[in-house]
Structure 1
């Protein structure tokens, strides 16, 4: 039995338990891995010496094929129980990666993330979760109810939940595979106050929130992959999250929105659109570039032929009491 991202949508309770056990076994073995951008991942794996995995990081971080003798028998048994060991040529391949953030391990989709329901974790996940943590720690008031919109692996929700242990933290997504991984990852981290649930933005959950965090898709992706495509201009989905926050932030509540923008002739179209959308809402907001130049390889494609650079940005908005 193997587990692809599509099959993960109907993952069994036994498979989820085995996936948690696999993560715990990796953690106990001292496994750590920082996920890089897809372009860097591909470059590193193209090196001849990296054609096959020789250790845990090669298998579960770099998504390289491996042979029978590469892994301990217990790890292989857990992979088989979780359904994540797939035949690959003369060997095997893991259909899941594990990455480290905030001293926790998070399961997510193997590289390359080509499937329509792929669950991605990478540098932007780290940046968003760092921003959310900094915001929580800098708040003058406790968080009672929080939500991570488009939660993916649930890394942001777990990071917030660890610092607001009395709060209810929702991890919402429209991707059933993401919700499965978020459930597994919250359990692996011991974040019992995280609840993963299906919701299109906030349409399927009730009530107001003290904190809304999100790292939504913000790229212009010709393939239209759900975890990546933000709309024809890249910022349509982030704009919907601003609208949702305007409707659902409690008095004193905050939005932490990590997104990106293609800068054209020195102009930032996302900032301009956000300023127009936020005008008259009564929300107080800030906006800054976190990194002025990322994903430069995208400038070679038609989607960003008009842009001079791609920046990642952080927008925060607060509802006054």
Structure 2
């Protein structure tokens, strides 16, 4: 049996496993960790009773619940853990844009966990809305901090022939992105290890990113934004885009912003960077009040709310 890892290493076996699950008609909408904890805490949910419980809700299960052939595929993929007499999946499978995406099992507590959740869905929706309204071709795009690769894969499905780079500093995320690109059958997708765009050359017609934006005491890679009120990585993405956007190129950044006494410090800082670079930019609150439970953390002692925001910046 495999030990608990952020994401298993055998990509061929993971693809075979995910395809076998997909053939059953499986679908699952992943919720926030807070919702996941509440639903799993119900007494009747202590143990899995279905395929969705195993691969969506990350609940332990007993032999006999799943077909033996599927359990063997899990074992071969390094995606099966033993907990006494019960078993548990080491990955989750979530639905988005007509595809299945493999990512970290719940709870995503490892420092290099591959996160996927409601913000992933909001991010992809914002990227596709921008793409639909764009009047210039996209020949080269990059997703900075790609995680499971959802946004880049969604772009690749709609931009045949384009080069799509999935950049992340986390090797576990790059494994997941490669698996998910194969599951979606997308071509032209290149996962590449890179801190921001330091190891990716050239300019881009489209840069997209949903970076971590929380203050996380454990500094988990998928969650910790660093800098003032968790905005450090988001601001770094804006700065990187200013340097690497091609003429007519755009940045679509989906992130969170802590609001302090009615002010949005991230908006002010990002807008100043865009203005200095001569970019046209717009900014909107996607959701004015998200992750309210985080405000109990003393690190957010000055914040009155956390908004989900979309920044779009374009080089004329």
The two structures share one fold, judged by TM-score above 0.5? yes
1:69 to 53, 64, 68: 64
Taking the TM superposition and a 5 Å limit, the aligned residue runs for 1:57-136 are 57-136=52-131
Contact preservation (8 Å) 1:222, 1:303: no
Kept in 2, the 8 Å contact 1:218–1:238? The answer is: yes
Tell me what 2:210 maps to. 215
List structure 1 runs of 4+ shifted beyond 4 angstroms.
none
Please give the per-residue CA displacement for 1:75-120, whole angstroms capped at 9, x wherever unaligned.
Answer: 1011011011000132011110000000100000001111011000
Is the 1:33–1:100 Cα contact (8 Å) retained in structure 2? yes
Measure how far apart 1:279 and its partner are. Answer: 2.1
Question: Partner of 2:276: helix, strand, or coil?
Answer: coil
Write the distance in 2 (CA, Å) between the matches of 1:31 and 1:7: 20
- Residue from 144, 152, 159 that aligns with 1:157: 152
Q: Deviations over 1:36-76 (max 9, x none)?
A: 11100000000000000111110000010010011111210
| TM-score normalised to structure 2 length | 0.97
Match of 1:313 in 2: 309
Paired with 2:52 and 2:299, the residues of 1 have a C-alpha distance of 33
C-alpha root-mean-square deviation of aligned residues, in Å?
A: 1.1
Measure the CA separation in 1 of the matches of 2:7 and 2:126: 33
Return the alpha-carbon distance in structure 2 between the equivalents of residues 277 and 5 of structure 1. Answer: 38
Count the aligned residue pairs: 315
TM-score (norm 1): 0.96
Q: Distance in 1 between matches of 2:107 and 2:114?
A: 11
Matched, 1:290 2:286: yes
Residue of structure 1 aligned with 2:161, choices 157, 166, 173: 166
**Cα offset, 1:3, TM superposition:** 4.9
| TM-superposition CA deviations, 1:204-257 (whole Å, max 9, x none) | 011100000000011111111111111132111111111110110000001000
C-alpha distance in structure 1 between counterparts of 2:248 and 2:271, whole Å? 20
Q: Which residue of 1 aligns with 2:253?
A: 257
Question: For 1:97-148, what per-residue CA distance to the aligned partner results, in whole angstroms no more than 9, with x for missing partners?
Answer: 0000001000000011110110000011101111111111211122100000
Secondary structure of residue in 1 paired with 2:125? helix
Aligned to 1:195: 190
Paired residue for 1:35?
A: 30
* C-alpha displacement of 1:23: 1.1
* Cα displacement (A) at 1:21: 1.2
Say whether 1:56 aligns with 2:51.
yes
Does 2:240 align with 1:229? no
1:65 to 1:298, Cα distance in 2 relative to 1, 3 A? same
Task: Please state how far the C-alpha of 1:199 moved relative to its aligned partner.
Answer: 0.6
Determine helix, strand or coil for the equivalent of 1:279: helix
> Is the 1:5–1:117 Cα contact (8 Å) retained in structure 2?
no
